[in-house]
Structure 1
Amino acid sequence: MSFQTLWNALPMPAFLITEQGQIGAVNDAGEGFVVASARTLIGRRCVEVLDVGVDLERAFARVRADNSPMLIKDVDVASRNRPPGRCNIRIAPMSLSDPRLLLLLSPREVSQQVRPAGAPKSAIGMAEMLAHEIKNPLAGITGAAQLLAMNLPKADQEMTDLIVSEARRVVALLDQVEQFGDVSPPDCRAFNIHDVLERACQSARLGFAAHMQIKVDYDPSLPDVWGDPDQLMQVVLNLLKNASQAGAEGGTIRIRSAFQHDMRLSRSDGSRQHLPILLEISDNGPGIPPDIAADIFDPFVSGRENGTGLGLALVSKIISDHQGWITVDTQPGRTAFRISLPVSPAAKGGG
């Protein structure tokens, strides 16, 4: 796979900045963000193209001086053809021998809300391919370590045991990466969402959330939702598991359903979709760390020490594939994930 293919597979606007502060390269998402072609952008000073609410040139100098990446959160970014919008900006050095910098923009409408269905598929496909390739040599490493252990005295087997356990841990992580890339399009049909919620609650109470109290508040008048019950079951289980891991012994998880008459989502094509079914799953744990809250749905972002950061990314992808919407509201003592979904065509016609 060529660099250009990988570069254009990035779902967020990306720019390579030369030592002189000029744009050396821009990907497809970057062209779309500033509404200009690469041909007209390359060679221009970055500060002339992007109107940013911080001193970009000073930020570039600091990244080069420290040789370490920088994250600038919640700043207004505009261009000649684009009105100001809130973004997170990441600036990172390429390498010690390459003076160029990588500048990534994460528009808040992308980083905090659901991405359009299919937006990250190329990048995720690449991650899935790499996971498959890495697992093959890991199997060989594990086997070799086990063979070595057979000929070592018991006192010297600690290192080989460590190799085997760490290799297995990495394989488990790669399995999750492959699962993330393997999610098929939803097989949508009309069904009662409360059936899914109850099955998920029963599974949680008997397993990973046995140490928590689970309280429900359902709206019995909800019409049928339009979606894939198996995939939405996975969503609810992931959110319940997240809540159970955040909560202490005896903590409380609350599940609520409701009908939102006025919830409409504006799509990139200008259309507005009615998403009246609301599901809310909340816990009374410590909350999501503020430094990762805005990126919590991104792959490999996790608030737990040994978390993989793929559970919520999978949740976001499934909800996006359902043309739905997911948000999170977090503070110490309460974190609430809210999902908005469409009703079935029959219910829509009846309403």
Structure 2
Amino acid sequence: MSSKSDSTPPTAGTGNAMAMAVLNAIQNPVVMVDEAGLMVFANWEAEAFFGASASHLARYKISSFIPFGSPLLALIDQVRERRAPVNEYRVDLSSPRLGQDKLVDIYVAPVPSEPGSVVVVFQERSMADKIDRQLTHRAAARSVTGLASMLAHEIKNPLSGIRGAAQLLEQSVEDDDRALTRLICDETDRIVSLVDRMEVFSDERPVDRLPINIHSVLDHVKAIAKAGFARNIKITELYDPSLPAVFANRDQLIQVFLNLVKNAAEALSDTPEAEIVLTTAYRPGIRLSVAGTREKISLPLEFCVIDNGPGVPADLLPHLFDPFITTKTNGSGLGLALVAKIIGDHGGIIECDSQNHKTIFRVLMPASKDITLDDAISPNATGPSR
């Protein structure tokens, strides 16, 4: 006597729904192109990538959405002919329809059950580049950490002796020579100040973090800026009031954004109608490892400092967060390196996009789980407000 299993095999409809759910969960644009070149399937990320719904995309050939002469079309033909998958890296799909800086890695594979059809997966280079930059910034911070420890021990003590000797000489030399002893003291003080700034990089203590209302931080930074270095610059706020709290150290966040706003103000010194824009938004974040743990978190909170200045020189842009890189005549080049270290210690990333009349410093950080801005630490509170 045969017995039936209690479990019921999934129907074709259930399988299709599950496949759709899986494809829509993928954070890369995925499309299926049929033999005629029509995009008969597109997941949610592909809809966002092409700026159109799946039903709209299905009515047009993929050639209608990509630049004329794009190597993607040749890749699709190659896969159809060889019936084997192909990868192509750093393909430029920039166009008025798709937008600028659309640099992608492409994976094209045949669909065995649908002759002539292929699946195309796009990996936006911006995501890979963010990870590369994040690792570079952390490595740069570590190199400064070792240098700071060495300088603090090997330089500050001799400098104290030099300064003391100069002060003793100042009491016995004639008035004409006192300017030289004063110069020695001033220069030793300047070097000590530089070493003190570098010592911050050698602080490896865990960051004390709490749920923080980012808007209270930015309001505080704006108040400081308007009272001093940015008193003649228009500062505009474009905030998302529904943001969750950021899990961070309030004082360090103030240090980060004060540095970014001050840099923006200095870049606008010769710009008519100078303006700084502070923005906050919720974005689908990439996943990165938190420093010192195996945990991976998403970075959905985006905070930007935007200015309409002349922009960052193209040759400087890839190295902007490296130590000792600066465009300022008397700058030390440690400000942005310290910003990158602080953001990295928080498990976030910082990047810069710059062109003429628009420079964006973008900070991506983790949210504090299940805590809204209403529950976050306010400027004068000692704990979450209720």
TM-score scaled by length of structure 2: 0.57
Q: Is 1:184 matched with 2:208?
A: no
Gaps spanning 5+ residues in structure 1: where? 1-106
1:287/1:263 CA distance change after superposition, 3 Å: same
Given that 1:276 and 1:343 are in contact with CA atoms closer than 8 Å, whether structure 2 keeps it comes out as yes
Aligned equivalent of 2:228? 207
State the shift of 1:282 in Å.
Answer: 1.4
State the shift of 1:315 in Å.
Answer: 0.8
For residues 281-314 of structure 1, the C-alpha deviation after alignment (integer angstroms, 9 at most, x for no partner) is: 0122222233321111111111111111111111
Given that 1:180 and 1:310 are in contact with CA atoms closer than 8 Å, whether structure 2 keeps it comes out as no
1:335/1:184 CA distance change after superposition, 3 Å: farther
State the shift of 1:116 in Å.
Answer: 7.8
Aligned equivalent of 2:300? 276
Aligned equivalent of 1:285? 309
Aligned equivalent of 2:114? none
Instruction: Identify the match of residue 252 of structure 1 among 268, 275, 287.
Output: 275
Aligned equivalent of 1:195? 216
Q: How does 1:1-351 map to 2 (within 5 A)?
A: 112-113=133-134, 115=136, 120-121=141-142, 124-182=145-203, 184-248=205-269, 251-260=274-283, 262-267=284-289, 273-347=297-371
- For residues 359 and 326 of structure 2, what CA distance do their matches in structure 1 show? 15
- For residues 305 and 119 of structure 1, what CA distance do their matches in structure 2 show? 22
- For residues 208 and 196 of structure 1, what CA distance do their matches in structure 2 show? 18
State the shift of 1:118 in Å.
Answer: 8.0
- For residues 110 and 160 of structure 1, what CA distance do their matches in structure 2 show? 50
Given that 1:111 and 1:298 are in contact with CA atoms closer than 8 Å, whether structure 2 keeps it comes out as no
Residue identity opposite 1:240 in structure 2: V
Residue identity opposite 2:266 in structure 1: Q
Residue identity opposite 2:287 in structure 1: L
1:326/1:109 CA distance change after superposition, 3 Å: closer
Q: Secondary structure at the match of 1:346?
A: strand
Percent identical: 43
Given that 1:254 and 1:282 are in contact with CA atoms closer than 8 Å, whether structure 2 keeps it comes out as yes
1:243/1:296 CA distance change after superposition, 3 Å: same
- For residues 345 and 251 of structure 1, what CA distance do their matches in structure 2 show? 37
Report the aligned-residue RMSD: 2.8
Structure with the greater alpha carbon radius of gyration: 2
Gaps spanning 5+ residues in structure 2: where? 1-127, 373-386
Residue identity opposite 1:301 in structure 2: I
1:282/1:147 CA distance change after superposition, 3 Å: same
- For residues 300 and 183 of structure 1, what CA distance do their matches in structure 2 show? 21
